[in-house]
Amino acid sequence: MKNGVVKNWAALLLILLLTVARAETYLGYESRAAGFGIAYPKTWTATENPGRTAVVLFEKTSNPATRANLIASSGPASPGVKLDDYDRIMPKLFNLMFENYKQHLKQPTTLGGAPARMLLFEAVQGKIPIVGFIAYTIRNGKVYTVMFFSSRGQYEGYRQVSGNILGTFRFL
The enclosing H or E element of 111 equals strand 99-111
Rounded Cα distance, 44 and 29, in Å: 12
pLDDT tens digits, 83-142? 999 888 888 888 888 889 899 989 999 999 999 999 999 999 888 899 999 999 999 999
| Exposure on the CB side of residue 29, measured as CA atoms within 13 A | 28
25-171 CATH: 3.40.1000.10
Q: Are 56 and 46 in contact (CB under 8 A)?
A: yes
User: What is the predicted pLDDT for the residue at 135?
Assistant: 96
Residue predicted with more confidence, 128 or 54: 54
Q: Are 103 and 119 in contact (CB under 8 A)?
A: yes
pLDDT tens digits, 7-40? 555 554 445 444 444 457 899 999 999 999 999 9
